Structure 1
Amino acid sequence: MNDQSHKRHIAKTITWRIVGTIDTIILSWIISGNPLTGLKIGFAEVVTKMLLYYFHERAWFKINLSKDGQVLESRKRHIAKTITWRLIGTVDTMLLAWIISGNPLTGLKIGFAEVVTKMILYYIHERFWYKSNYGLNNRKSTNL
């Protein structure tokens, strides 16, 4: 594992957390009807999500999904990463929203709303980073 890949994964972690936190705050505010609850939920998950996201990135960096020597096409890989991350992220959000709001139904509503918004945002985030060479050694330009 090289230092460049760690820098890339840390940068991806930070950029995704910014996007994800803004989305969580807005959804939590709308669903709970309370902007303070939205802020509490959004900021509470900053730490948990950054740790979970970093380990998710590291795991996917090590996963080689090849078939007959052919590397899995990038769009399929990004869809698979999107699904696995969304499962982890949704459970984390539901638990935090439940604890902060005191209402398990609020946690479920926020978690389910995020499934849609976050999967779309995460896929766009993955495509953006796929186009970037930041933190990659000797990566050649590829067709996206």
Structure 2
Amino acid sequence: MRFSKRHLAKTVTWRIIGTLDTLLLSWLISSNITFALQIGFFELITKMIFYYMHERIWFKSSIKSSDKRHVLKTFSWRALGTLDTILLGWIITGNPLTGVKIGVAEVITKMLLYYGHEKLWYKIDYGLDQRNSKE
């Protein structure tokens, strides 16, 4: 598998935004900064791996419509990301309800942030040999 510098750059920029959002929400919901930092740390690892794989899959997608593509990518990523956050929140806090609360709170904030991230990256040619209809 050839690593794509574009997909790596998107992975890193999204992870910074996503981790900051998770840290804030985890802290507000759990009232425990240690739990929030632990969730954020482990999420860096799991979500970077999942996000890169998600990008590679979508890069090969035949969906060409920009708006439809961004909406579908937003929902598919959010489903995967929310499940990961719920599980991490549950494991780290020991409370499944806390994990669910963090995951549910993230759904709205992360979908808005992710959609904006996708729209911005769609306008950037970084890492593309030439602009094509797949990215």
Do both proteins adopt the same fold according to a TM-score greater than 0.5, normalized to the shorter chain? yes
C-alpha distance in structure 2 between counterparts of 1:114 and 1:37, whole Å: 16
Of residues 78, 89, 108, the one that matches 2:81 is 89
Task: Kindly provide the amino acid, as one letter, of the partner of residue 106 in structure 1.
Answer: T
CA displacement at 1:138 relative to structure 2: 2.0
C-alpha distance in structure 2 between counterparts of 1:39 and 1:23, whole Å: 12
Q: Which of structure 1's runs of 4+ aligned residues deviate more than 4 A?
A: none
CA-atom RMSD in angstroms: 1.6
Q: How many residues are matched?
A: 133
| Structure-1 residue corresponding to 2:45 | 47
SS of corresponding position for 1:137: coil
C-alpha distance in structure 2 between counterparts of 1:44 and 1:138, whole Å: 35
Residues 36-75 of structure 1: matches in 2 within 5 Å? Answer: 36-65=34-63, 71=64, 73-75=65-67
Task: Kindly provide the amino acid, as one letter, of the partner of residue 40 in structure 2.
Answer: G
Task: Kindly provide the amino acid, as one letter, of the partner of residue 114 in structure 1.
Answer: E
Percent identity for Structure 1 against Structure 2: 61
CA displacement at 1:2 relative to structure 2: 7.0
| Structure-1 residue corresponding to 2:120 | 128
**Structure 2: segments with no counterpart, 5+ residues:** none
Task: Kindly provide the amino acid, as one letter, of the partner of residue 62 in structure 1.
Answer: K
**Structure 1: segments with no counterpart, 5+ residues:** 66-70
Q: TM-score, normalised by structure 1?
A: 0.88
